[in-house]
């Protein structure tokens, strides 16, 4: 859970419009589910993949579906925000350097995708 927490705090510190999904403390130590406002999760996943970062949209059991997670919508996440969901999974071999790399490439990806998004509010990724 320590690396997941470093990743979560890092993302929250550099990108606005983030929603962490799930209980604040009672969650799997190697999984971070979050929603990025004003962008499509699929575009985020593809952009991360181009940078060598493996990620997924939604839960493991719903991977491959383009519909927003029924679990997220049941939790009260608005559909337009649920469309920006991403799941980052950390494994036994994940290092601090891996986390630092994600934190290095993610802000530019989010900013670029939000600048092209029809869902974009007046604010941008910082």
CATH number at residue 89: 3.90.1150.10
CB proximity list for 35: less than 8 A, separation 6 or greater: 18, 19, 21, 41, 72, 77, 81, 82, 84, 85, 86
Asked about 61 being catalytic, the answer comes back as yes
Domain that holds residue 52: 2-116
Count the domains in the chain: 1
Taking only the tens place, the pLDDT of each residue in 15-50 is 999 999 887 888 888 999 998 999 988 999 999 999
Residue 60 has pLDDT above 70, yes or no: no
Q: H/E element holding 112?
A: helix 96-116
Q: Which of 2, 25, 26, 61 is catalytic?
A: 61
Q: Is residue 100 part of a domain?
A: yes
Is the pTM of the predicted complex or chain greater than 0.85?
no
Q: Is residue 18 part of a domain?
A: yes
* Inter-CA distances, 29 with 2, 3, 7, 56, 88, Å: 8, 8, 11, 17, 11
């Amino acid at each position: 859970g320590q690396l997941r927490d470093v990743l979560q705090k890092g993302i929250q510190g550099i990108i606005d419009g983030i929603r962490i999904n799930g209980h604040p403390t009672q969650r799997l130590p190697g999984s971070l589910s979050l929603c990025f406002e004003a962008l499509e999760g699929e575009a985020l996943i593809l952009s991360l993949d181009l940078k060598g970062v493996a990620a997924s949209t939604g839960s493991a059991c719903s991977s491959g579906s383009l519909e927003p997670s029924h679990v997220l919508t049941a939790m009260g996440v608005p559909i337009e925000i649920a469309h920006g969901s991403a799941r980052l999974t950390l494994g036994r071999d994940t290092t601090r350097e891996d986390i630092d790399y994600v934190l290095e490439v993610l802000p530019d990806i989010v900013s670029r995708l939000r600048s092209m998004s029809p869902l974009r509010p007046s604010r941008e990724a910082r």
